Structure 1
Amino acid sequence: MNERACVLVVAKAPVPGLAKTRLTPAATREQAAEVAAASLLDTLDAVLAVPRVRRVVAMTGDLDAAAQAPELRRMLRWFDVIPQRGDNFAERLVNAHHDVADLPVVQIGMDTPQVTPWLLGSAVVGTLAGDATLGLAEDGGWWALGLRDPVHAMALSDVPMSQPDTGRRTLDALHDRDLHVTPLPVLSDVDTVVDAARVAKLVPRSRFAAAVAAISTAGQPIP
């Protein structure tokens, strides 16, 4: 296959007690891990439907202890799986881009299960046409970063991650490298139960929606 780019998923094994901890106490640790696993599986499904790309997952955590471990292992057979490297999240992102640096890279996480193959394909096209693409998240972060030359991932080195201004500071860091950045649609990622319920309504027939529906608050499904 003539691969035009790499779609890189940066993921954490959905281990109970370590995954989606902000969904508790509304969800049990096991339910939160099931939501994380469903989100990752739905994301991987979308990536598999994007044509002519190398598919890579940069993984951290104990997959053997994860929710939906057998299904995740079956799905990951279709991906090149590499370990995450680095002492903090920004460093792990930079290294993941470096490790697949033979192609332009569109990097996403596992917190936007509503992502579609069309949207990922558009990110690939935009990345190939310019210098970079960036998809901001509603909480101030970002959900996707495309770089025609992955060496520019070094721009992330000095950007604090998981902050309300991470998206803006990432955009500034890319502009500081004189990169033309094409914006992608703003998406809501999944951090809280409210986020999860809102995103589940966007993809009602997904694994993610089913996992969210299993969470109960005071004996009642999440609205």
Structure 2
Amino acid sequence: MTAPQVLVLAKAPTPGRVKTRLCPPCTPEQAARVAAAALADTLDTVTTATAGSRVLVLDGDHPAPPGWATLPQRGEALGDRLANAFADARTPGTPAVLIGMDTPQLRVGHLDTARELLATAGGPDAVLGPAADGGWWTLGLRDPGHATVLRTIATSTATTGRRTLTALRRRGLRVRLLPCLSDVDTAADAHAVATLCPPGSRFARAVAAEVPHPAPVAR
């Protein structure tokens, strides 16, 4: 089977439009620099991984690495934008794996596992990477047409991942779960994820420079 496409759903790192939950303690400009670093690390990892093609599905304007395609995001609700990303990038007969820009600790091995599972005859129809906050950090589909289920699932809730898994299984898909990762919403998240990033991580450097440590909780 053809190596899957890898889609990265991202926002251009514009102050006031990204990582707003980092503010405070960050300024919008600091939060944007953290977002830019997270996106850069993610794009580097995907560039290194084996993929049939790589597509940056973008809200806003931001350069993609050489050899990447860029598509605009379509839709208002996140579920529609996710489903449209799969539909707009779809190549007949090619699986697709979608990730976001909020898990800069992502390693090539995570993507290799997803690719190998989807490329294996008799393997799962879908792979889903749960996130620690109840969402998910990746969804891979042997047939990207099944992403239409995302249009009906509430996003950014503590049950988004579970509801996504249930919806996929109700379509008769065999789903393999990938390791759980933490994504970055708050300052505490940023510092925790930075410790998981590989040496040389732009994100880890940006967090150290831009994100004050949360104040201790008074007892």
Secondary structure of 1:122's match? helix
Normalized per residue, the structure richer in strand is: 1
Using the TM superposition, give the Cα deviation of residue 126 of structure 1 relative to its aligned residue in structure 2, in angstroms. Answer: 1.6
Structure 1 gap ranges (5+):
64-72
Q: CA deviation at 1:17?
A: 1.0
Instruction: For 1:3 and 1:161, locate their aligned partners in 2 and report how far apart those are by CA, in whole Å.
Output: 30
Deviations 1:66-91 (A, max 9, x none): xxxxxxx2x53331000111121111
How far has the Cα of 1:62 moved from its partner?
Answer: 3.9
Misfit runs of 4+, over 4 Å: 220-223
Judge conservation of contact 1:40–1:113 (CA < 8 Å) in 2: yes
Match of 1:67 in 2: none
Residue aligning to 2:208: 213
Aligned with residue 98 of structure 2, among 85, 103, 107: 107
Q: How far did 1:127 drift?
A: 2.3
Alignment partner of 2:195: what SS?
A: helix
1:111-131 alpha-carbon deviations (Å, 9 max, x no partner): 000001111111111223320
Structure 1 position 3, deviation (Å): 5.0
Q: TM-score, normalised by structure 1?
A: 0.89
Tell me how far apart the structure 1 counterparts of residues 21 and 82 of structure 2 sit (CA, whole Å). Answer: 22
Paired AA for residue 29 in structure 1:
P
State the match for 1:93 in structure 2. 82
Deviation at residue 36 of structure 1 after TM alignment:
0.5
Take 1:86 and 1:32, find their aligned partners in 2: how far apart are those partners? Answer: 25
SS at match of 1:191: coil
Matched residue, 2:141? 147
Alpha-carbon shift at residue 222 of structure 1 (Å): 8.6
Written as runs of structure 1 = structure 2, the 5 A alignment for 1:1-223 is: 4-63=3-62, 73=63, 75-102=64-91, 103-128=94-119, 129-203=123-197, 204-217=199-212
When residues 216 and 120 of structure 1 are mapped into structure 2, their CA distance, relative to the original with a 3 A threshold, is closer
- Which amino acid is the alignment partner of residue 79 of structure 2? A
Q: Which amino acid aligns with 1:55?
A: R
CA distance, structure 1, for counterparts of residue 61 and residue 7 of structure 2? 19
Aligned length, in residue pairs: 210
Change in Cα spacing, 1:76 to 1:168, as seen in structure 2 (3 Å) is same
Contact 1:3 1:54 in 2 (8 A): no
Q: Report the aligned-residue RMSD.
A: 1.8
Contact 1:35–1:212 (Cα < 8 Å) also in 2: yes
Which residue identity lines up with residue 176 of structure 1 in the other structure?
R
Distance 1:107 1:16 in 2: 25
Structure 2 spans left out of the alignment, 5+ residues? none
Q: CA deviation at 1:139?
A: 0.3
Conserved 8 A contact 1:133-1:147: yes
- 2:3 and 2:204 map into 1 onto residues whose CA distance is 32
Letter in 1 for 2:111: L
